[in-house]
Structure 1
Amino acid sequence: LDTQLKRLPHCGAKLRFTENHDQPRTMKRFEGDETRFLAWSAFMAFLPGAHLVYAGQEAGSDHLPSLFDLDPVQWCPPDEDSVSQCDPGYGFPYSVFFSKLNTIKLEVAELTHRSPGTRFAVMDAIPCLTAIWRGGNKAESYLLLARLDDSLGASLPVPLKDGQYFNLLEDTQDGGAMPVQVSDGKMDLSYPCIVVAKASQLKLGRMSPKVGWIEATNAEGSEASPDGAADGLLAGA
């Protein structure tokens, strides 16, 4: 990330993705490990820049389609004739997850527009990937915690003060954001990735970024335009 920041123009937009037509699917590379699939997908979407979901990724496909022959994504079980006949939970098991990521992406873009000086930083990688978007007035923040390895256990130290937060990537049965608790500086990260956001009540502890703060402004230093922000055109991407 540091290298990218030095090479890209300040007003550039980096395209972020975990899958494309030239590389094996992440489900293939991770040998079906859902934890790493979700964690890395969330982290790449959370980074500054535009986010790409490669066709079939929302189905958890592990097959890299041909570029030159008809090779459609297998959305349904082989014995089904069409997507409409699929069990809704089968054909697109991660569509809700990616939809939530896109919603967060738009909310962050709106934050950069209304709060000049909004910045991004990667805080840590071990024991979990930790990144933050922080509004210019420090009153609004989005914090991502992504667990990369099941062997680390579920209860991990996080850069948050004790209290209750809400995971924007996971729903309760009634459709609300799933509450998560920080106790003694640790959070139960049983779900692979968590994004928490609050206004002035967000209780951030002392944080020292591993990748320096990136300010989401354009080359002239003015705030990002709403149209550009909606397209993921965040400076420093």
Structure 2
Amino acid sequence: MTNKFNELKNKVIYEIFLRNYSKSGTFNEVYCDLERIKKLGVDIIWFMPFYPIGKKNRKGNYGSPYSISKYDEISYEYGGIDQFKKIIKKSKELGMQVMIDIVFNHTSNDSYISKNHKDWFILNDDGDFFRKEPDWFDIADLNFKNSELWDYLINILKFWKDIGVEGFRCDVASLIPLNFWEKARSQVDPEKKLIWLAESMEPEYLRALRKEGYDVVSDTELYRVFDYTYDYDGYEKIHKYFKGEIELSGIVEYIKTQQTIYPRESLKMRFLENHDKPRIASLISSKQRLKNWTTFYMTLPGSSLIYAGQEIKDDKYPDLFEKTSINWDDGDYEFLNFIKKIIVISKEIKAESKYFEINEVKKGVVEVKWTGEKYDYLIILNLEEKYGNIFLNNFYEGYDMINKEKIKLNKKYKLQKEPLIIKSIK
């Protein structure tokens, strides 16, 4: 296995939307919270866009952070570049890396470059700005047929790298030509030391765009450049599951499929929620069931994403266009301590193990196995709060990693509400 794969395979990413992170919504609150974030088990802090937001055709009162008017500035309400540098410095001291959002598919309608380089944009027959997604009326799509645009955007990446940023989360990366990304990484990160995360597309959306004639890039192609892709193909199954359109078996079988359709050392960023999707606590009201789902997704191959507030069971729908601050004072801190514990466990499992296996052993109950050179790990997840017994292939004796005690399991196991993780010596 490559060093980069081993370095990234068990990382935890923490997503921050500055506007809604706190009541004041500034860098200062995040700076003061860095020790808590580190203690949670975070390795990479991902800042959603903090750039100035366009005013023309703005959505909502505050506007989308993805409608950017200038790529090399920080919006005044968040704080200055010096405050951001302090966060980078302190994060490094704590052993965390800072990743920022890069939004190169489009800018706001009144961006700096839209006023000075209109020829860098896709225009319709009337000479007006065009967008692939009509509902995104607050943005204008860039035209990657222009080589000057490439140079400009690559210099933007170099600008943030020079400030100390160690990773780029690339918005709707599938909509941008792959050869641009190849050139960008070769010039900005030739030694491949930075973290590159592609927001890839949900398969249904990708198919729809291709049907419209757009040359969009698949996850498999993106791995030629990127370290991670979004697990949107997996999330598509979760979305259908919670809508009642498929059974749990549909998720399990697709996870098995992922093990064969992607390159051997490819990595997914696994998530139950993000800024574009509902809070998982709004979909799962039972804490025991939520613990099982959280353990499930944190122990799948790849990195795990926590969207700030998820760790305290925030259930408010993320609003990109208004201010809806996380209520940290009213959070579920017992759940936070549970997530801390699962993060530690999941990191060990992925670091120690080489082979992953998953099966639905009873309707609503999933068995995950990780196999390593020294240890084996058995994870039993009661995802639908079922009762009764399941039958295991073997007798298990080992260490209950959640409750921190020795345990013995017969082949007949009585289901519990809480997840179970057993570590056994080979």
TM-score calculated relative to the size of structure 2? 0.37
Q: Pick from 401, 404, 410: which aligns with 1:168?
A: 401
Query: How big is the shift at 1:62?
Result: 1.4
Which residue number in structure 2 is paired with residue 18 of structure 1?
Answer: 272
Which residue number in structure 2 is paired with residue 37 of structure 1?
Answer: 290
* Structure 2 residues not aligned, in runs of 5+: 1-254
* Residue 308 of structure 2 is aligned to residue 75 of structure 1: no
Which residue number in structure 1 is paired with residue 382 of structure 2?
Answer: 147
Q: Pick from 176, 198, 211: which aligns with 2:424?
A: 198
CA deviations on 1:176-196 (whole Å, 9 max, x unpaired) are x1454424x233443421111
Local SS of the residue matching 1:52 = strand
RMSD, aligned α-carbons: 2.3
CA deviations on 1:206-228 (whole Å, 9 max, x unpaired) are xxxxxxxxxxxxxxxxxxxxxxx
CA contact (8 A) 1:17 1:53 kept: yes
Q: Pick from 341, 348, 367: which aligns with 1:107?
A: 348
Distance 2:294 2:316 in 1: 17
Distance 2:294 2:415 in 1: 16
Local SS of the residue matching 1:62 = coil
Q: How many residues align?
A: 171
* Residue 409 of structure 2 is aligned to residue 182 of structure 1: yes
Query: How big is the shift at 1:60?
Result: 1.4
Alignment-mate amino acid for residue 148 of structure 1: L
1:78-93 alignment runs, 5 A limit? 91-93=332-334
Distance 1:190 1:168 in 2: 15
Over 3 Å counting, the alpha-carbon distance change for 1:8 and 1:2 in structure 2 is same
Alignment-mate amino acid for residue 321 of structure 2: F
Distance 1:75 1:154 in 2: 38
Distance 1:155 1:180 in 2: 17
Query: How big is the shift at 1:154?
Result: 5.6
Local SS of the residue matching 1:3 = helix
CA contact (8 A) 1:157 1:187 kept: yes
TM-score calculated relative to the size of structure 1? 0.64
Distance 1:125 1:20 in 2: 29
Which residue number in structure 1 is paired with residue 358 of structure 2?
Answer: 122
Q: Which protein shows a greater Rg? A: 2
Query: How big is the shift at 1:15?
Result: 0.7
Distance 1:98 1:29 in 2: 18
Identity %: 24
Over 3 Å counting, the alpha-carbon distance change for 1:155 and 1:7 in structure 2 is closer
* Structure 1 residues not aligned, in runs of 5+: 78-89, 113-117, 171-176, 201-237
Query: How big is the shift at 1:132?
Result: 0.7
Local SS of the residue matching 1:97 = helix
* Structure with higher RCO (Cα < 8 A, 6+ apart): 1
